[in-house]
């Protein structure tokens, strides 16, 4: 799946792109079946919500499941990523963030590079976060909010939040968020199951609680150029991959 010049320009200008209808219902159903299995596993890579105790994030999925390994290297992720950040890419992180109906908790305003730099010593903000929606994501079930163009304003100061949820995150303070939103507003990234979303390492984003009766599951892979790999090795492999060999694309049919 190659992006055209207009799409590449959009990512460069706004810091993200939303591409509907990328994966079929059959592919999404196969992924959802596997998701149910990995969520049941007793694993430290399954991080639970603070209040409800249900799984919030299942990490290291390319290490735990063949179909998620194939998805991570799928041409619909690999080709656009290669166009944007080059062909020599390693798998920095894979996960599913699920926001369970009624209880799914917030992701505070943040940009990924603050964590990649602060926790892992990644030198430059080059990594890309690529998502595929495993449920319909609507305005009601906790979609991601992006601040368009926020990657263009240098690195907003961030501090480590270990209190709000069970997932420690380097978050941007409210004054900075207010200034950025004043300039460029907020976009809610909704779409049907099978939608792909790609966003850059310094784009400020977050998401609110899911108080709707619908679950919201999103698969995410972060790909990073091999020559921009981590320099600190504190976080476990399920949070930052340790195989720095360039990945090869899987087959277009590998999810069927």
Ligand X SMILES: O=C(O)CCC(=O)C(=O)O
**In the complex, least distance from residue 139 CB atom to ligand X, rounded to whole angstroms:** 13
Report the alpha-carbon distance of residue 234 to residue 236 in Å, rounded: 7
Helix (H) or strand (E) holding 183: helix 174-184
Strand 107-110 to 128-133 pairing: unpaired
**In the complex, least distance from residue 111 CB atom to ligand X, rounded to whole angstroms:** 8
Report the alpha-carbon distance of residue 240 to residue 168 in Å, rounded: 14
Q: Name 110's bridge partners.
A: 171, 205
Instruction: Give 72 or 207: the residue with its C-beta nearer to ligand X.
Output: 207
**In the complex, least distance from residue 121 CB atom to ligand X, rounded to whole angstroms:** 18
**In the complex, least distance from residue 251 CB atom to ligand X, rounded to whole angstroms:** 26
Report the alpha-carbon distance of residue 92 to residue 224 in Å, rounded: 6
Instruction: Give 76 or 205: the residue with its C-beta nearer to ligand X.
Output: 205
Instruction: Give 5 or 162: the residue with its C-beta nearer to ligand X.
Output: 162
Instruction: Give 14 or 129: the residue with its C-beta nearer to ligand X.
Output: 129
Q: What is the number of other CB atoms lying within 10 angstroms of the CB of residue 1?
A: 14
Instruction: Give 155 or 251: the residue with its C-beta nearer to ligand X.
Output: 155
**In the complex, least distance from residue 253 CB atom to ligand X, rounded to whole angstroms:** 27
Helix (H) or strand (E) holding 130: strand 128-133
- 192 in the Ramachandran plot: left (φ > 0), alpha (ψ -120 to 50) or beta? beta
**In the complex, least distance from residue 95 CB atom to ligand X, rounded to whole angstroms:** 7
Closest CA to 85 of 241, 206, 253, 247: 247
Instruction: Give 195 or 220: the residue with its C-beta nearer to ligand X.
Output: 220
Contact residues for ligand X (CB under 6 A)?
A: 97, 107, 112, 129, 144, 205, 207, 218, 220
């Amino acid at each position: 799946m190659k992006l055209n010049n207009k799409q590449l320009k959009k990512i460069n200008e706004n810091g993200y792109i939303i591409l509907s209808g990328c994966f079929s219902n059959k592919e999404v159903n196969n992924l959802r079946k596997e998701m149910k299995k990995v969520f049941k596993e007793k694993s430290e890579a399954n991080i639970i919500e603070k209040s409800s105790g249900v799984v919030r994030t299942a990490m290291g999925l390319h290490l735990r499941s063949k179909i998620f390994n194939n998805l991570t290297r799928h041409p619909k992720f690999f080709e656009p990523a290669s166009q944007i950040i080059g062909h020599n890419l390693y798998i920095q992180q894979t996960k599913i963030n699920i926001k369970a109906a009624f209880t799914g908790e917030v992701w505070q305003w943040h940009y990924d590079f603050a964590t990649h730099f602060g926790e892992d010593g990644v030198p430059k903000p080059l990594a890309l976060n690529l998502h595929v929606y495993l449920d319909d994501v609507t305005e009601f079930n906790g979609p991601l909010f992006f601040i368009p163009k926020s990657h263009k304003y240098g690195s907003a100061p961030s501090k480590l939040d270990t209190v709000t949820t069970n997932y420690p995150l380097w978050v941007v303070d409210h004054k900075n968020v207010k200034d950025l939103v004043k300039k460029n507003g907020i976009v809610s990234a909704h779409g049907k199951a099978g939608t792909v979303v790609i966003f850059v390492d310094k784009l400020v984003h977050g998401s609110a609680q899911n108080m709707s009766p619908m679950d919201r599951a999103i698969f995410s892979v972060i790909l990073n150029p091999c020559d921009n790999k981590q320099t600190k090795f504190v976080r476990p492999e399920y949070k930052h991959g340790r195989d720095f060999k360039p990945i090869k694309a899987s087959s277009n049919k590998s999810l069927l």
